Amino acid sequence: MCGIAGVFTRTGVGQAAVSVVRRMNDLQKHRGPDDEGLYKDPYCVFGHRRLSIIDLSKDGHQPFFSDDSRYIMVYNGEIYNYIELRDELIEHGISFGTATDSEVLLKAYLHYGPACLSRFNGMFAFAVYDSLEKSLFLARDRFGVKPLYYTQTNGTFYFASEIKALRQTVGQTYTVNEQALFEYLCFNRTDIGEETFLNQIKRLHKGCYAIYGESLKIQQWWDPETFLANPVADSVEEICRTTEELLVSSVALRMRSDVTVGSCLSGGLDSSILAGIVYQHKHASGDYLTFTAAFPGYALDETRYVEALNLRYPFKNYQTYPSANNAYENLRRFVYANDEPLTGPSFYSQYEVMRLAHEHNVTVLLDGQGGDESFAGYQYLHGFRFNELFRTGRYGKLAAEMLQSIIRGQEKEGFQTFLFQVFPPSLRKTLLLRTLPHIKKSFFSQHVDHSVIYQRFFSAPDLNASLARHFLYKFEHLLRPEDRNAMAFSIEARMPYLDYRLVEYLLRVPGSLKLKKGETKMLQKRALGKYSIPQIVERRDKIGFGTPGNQWMRDERWQKLTETNYRVLCDRFPHIFNDRVQLKHNLYDRWKINQIATWLEVFNN
């Protein structure tokens, strides 16, 4: 895990570009405190900050050069299957001078070209400069785990791992992207496609590569929707066996490290299964470290489940206690670390978990991110299942599944999602606007038809299509804080549920095996529940990474801050915010007001 940065222009860079890249390196030091590197020629400057994970020697220093020095690479991430790829390349007559995954990545690119990307099992963002052709190749992993941002001005191309590195070094006027602001305010989503909160800075979209020669050309190399057309024909038993084999293999690959590995642990299914696999497959012993956010006195506190799991697996568990007070005190640092506004206070709890792991000298953490997307863990996904039954005329089954959802005590999100899909557009918009009294109707009307979430996500015809579109449009808003919160404390977060082999296979598994009759994650429980404990597998009250944000927003200091920040936003954006309404005691509305205002203040936008 590292930080990368660069400047490229075919007309030639000046000495000022070196200063810019050095400054970008400094701003990303937290991403790589172990080493720093710089490369310069008349057309390109590369910068790199290294967090040493695999091969801690100087062999891993970057920028990394090809054997003939024609190609220069900066790379952020991990290629977990680098050993297997190295052996494959050796069979093709390619020799290696180091034991690093960096050398494997560069030589795979030189051998296969862009086709190398489909061979990588990992998370990555990298750039390769061809010093002979004066061209640049950039790429990101399938899911967008590792970030890559860029901007262009006066014929010069700049890129970096974090927006702050560009925003605070590249001299140009930055303006707020109001379409991104709309998606955030209306649909509680960020990090959609190439758009950021700033019009002048773009994100290289997940599963894409770019070539910059005379101009920038972007090509998508991975699309989750392509796997929907080839459903598996395996029996349920075979599906369960394959699912288990793939996740077990994924964990084994992600335990490869030359530094200490630990785990984030909640009282939920995803992280408890990972802990079970780590122990049952002998990847850890009693000194394995786990880290939990605890909320004593709150109903959503999960420490009792962690303690029950600890009776089965002898890990060491450390707990942190996020609160309204420390969230308030750390708000500016938290917003700065994450570059852009975040959608909920659970990300602050994650930030504190990463801090705790850092205090215990853990450099790599396994995390359960991605389990809800692959195994259908969100309550509102019932709505896509209902719509699938409705569209195909299976009304009796639809009624039965709705009744089962009610009997199981499922929340209303599934029914709301279903109705939102079947209502005519005019009614959808009317109902949606009623939930946003603080947003002006003119702003809503101007942006809703351009909304990716409104136009693309909710049009998914069935459950599996909605899961594929999660990966396309909704998932990266979880991955940005995963990366930034971990990197703020120089930690590499690894997500076994995001092994592409597992995700691609599960997209081909019938949706009815994952979710129906009011129950989510059916396949995960059947195939992998044995690694957890019954108290967790049988839970019906698990809601994501639970954080008592509603109570936090009622804290006196938070209430005063919210009132002040709302007035600031009404003055700054009078065409967006309605100053004639009182903000409801709504967690997400209040949280977002404070995120936007603090972001504007911290980055002086």
Report whether 125 contacts 77 (CB < 8 A): yes
Low pLDDT (below 50) residues in the chain? none
Q: Domains of the chain, with CATH numbers?
A: 2-222 (3.60.20.10), 226-372+473-547 (3.40.50.620), 379-470 (no CATH), 551-602 (no CATH)
407-441: pLDDT as tens digits: 887 778 899 999 999 999 999 999 999 999 999 99
pLDDT of 586 = 65
Tokens at 74, concatenated: 């900066």
pLDDT at 585: 57
C-beta of residue 102 within 8 angstroms of C-beta of residue 122:
no
* 519, β-bridge pairs: 516
Enumerate the β-bridge partners of residue 38.
Answer: 47
Q: How far apart are CA 277 and CA 274, in angstroms?
A: 5
pTM higher than the cut 0.75: yes
How far is Cα 235 from Cα 505, in angstroms, rounded to an integer? 14
Q: What is the pLDDT of residue 588?
A: 76
Residues 31, 472 contacting (CB under 8 angstroms): no
Other Cβ atoms closer than 10 A to 343: 19
Report CA 71 to chain centroid distance, whole Å.
30
pLDDT of residue 296: 95
Consult the annotation and say whether 223 binds a ligand.
no
Q: How far is CA 118 from the centre of its chain?
A: 20
**CA geometry: angle at 301 spanning 298 and 306, to 5°?**
160
CA-to-CA separations, 576 to 256, 293, 430, in angstroms, rounded: 49, 36, 17
CA distance 14 to 595: 38
**Per-residue pLDDT, 582:** 74
Q: Smallest Cα–Cα separation from 419: which of 444, 382, 468?
A: 382
What pLDDT is recorded for position 584? Answer: 64
Strands 149-153 and 156-160, bridge-based pairing: antiparallel
Burial (CB count within 10 angstroms: exposed 0-12, middle 13-18, buried 19+), residue 521? buried
Sequence-ordered alpha helix ranges (H) in 125-209:
163-167, 178-187
Q: Which residues are catalytic?
A: 2
- Scored b (16 or more CB within 10 A) or e, 385-397 reads bbbbbeeeeeeeb
Q: Where do we find the tokens 């309204």?
A: 324
